[in-house]
């Protein structure tokens, strides 16, 4: 079982690459957003807590998110886990490390999808324009101003994880702006299966 974190700013392709790993390696994507939405409607004790917090418009605590991740790790089968949207901060990274250790699991790879911010903004804005031109709709936050706000949030809170995992000898970087297949091949090479 292989456990990985995909790091990178919004729009870097983490979701696309995570889905490929799910399909090709039977990995389980642990998306905190999906887990919170699932918990909110589950009717469990944890779900009721999550619903109350989210309905009040408050942020769910790290302890609750770790609890949800812990539940997902227990008894799951497959090729391992992809942590998506977690950790976002250094305290969350510490908590995840402790949780994995308590379950006898390891974090095998932390893969950073490196991007050039200007190229990334152009790519996301272009993606939105293509969606509209094709008769579809663009994500509400797929515009230059929203993306710049999301990038600033990423750099303030999440980018310190790059140094954190580098210092632990766990960080590998790949070019996140390549073609989807090229990025996937680079990730596979990092994971030892080209």
Inform me whether the pLDDT recorded for 96 exceeds 80: yes
Nearest CA to 13 among 181, 140, 165? Answer: 181
- What is the rounded CA–CA span in Å between residue 83 and residue 36? 14
Catalytic residue among 127, 156, 168, 193: 127
Look over the chain and give the mean of its residue pLDDT values, rounded to a whole number. 88
Quickly state the pLDDT bin for 194 (edges 50, 70, 90): very low
**Is 25 a known active-site residue?**
no
Q: Which residue from 23, 20, 28 is spatially nearest to 2, judged by alpha carbons?
A: 28
Task: Confirm whether 123 is a catalytic residue.
Answer: no
Which residues, 6+ apart, have CB-to-CB distance to 190 below 8 Å? 109, 111, 172, 174
Q: What is the pLDDT of residue 193?
A: 59
pLDDT at 139: 65
* Weakest-pLDDT range from 66-75, 140-149, 185-194: 140-149
Q: Given the residues 37, 48, 103, 139, select the one marked as catalytic.
A: 139
150 is catalytic: yes
Q: What pTM was computed for the model? A: 0.83
């Amino acid at each position: 079982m292989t456990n990985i974190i995909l790091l990178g700013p919004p729009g870097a392709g983490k979701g696309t690459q995570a889905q490929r790993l799910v399909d090709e390696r039977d990995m389980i994507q642990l998306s905190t957003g999906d887990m919170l939405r699932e918990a909110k409607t589950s009717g469990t004790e944890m779900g009721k807590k999550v619903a109350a917090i989210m309905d009040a418009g408050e942020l769910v605590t790290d302890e609750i998110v770790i609890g949800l991740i812990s539940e997902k790790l227990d008894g799951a089968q497959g090729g391992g886990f992809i942590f998506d949207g977690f950790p976002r901060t250094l305290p969350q990274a510490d908590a995840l490390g402790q949780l994995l250790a308590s379950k006898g699991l390891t974090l095998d790879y932390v893969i950073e999808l490196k991007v050039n911010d200007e190229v990334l903004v152009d790519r996301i804005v272009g993606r939105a324009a293509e969606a509209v031109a094709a008769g579809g709709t663009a994500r509400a936050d797929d515009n230059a101003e929203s993306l710049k706000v999301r990038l600033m949030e990423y750099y303030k809170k999440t980018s310190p994880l790059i140094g954190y995992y580098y210092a632990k000898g766990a960080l590998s970087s790949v070019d996140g702006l390549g073609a989807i297949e090229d990025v996937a091949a680079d990730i596979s090479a990092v994971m030892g299966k080209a």
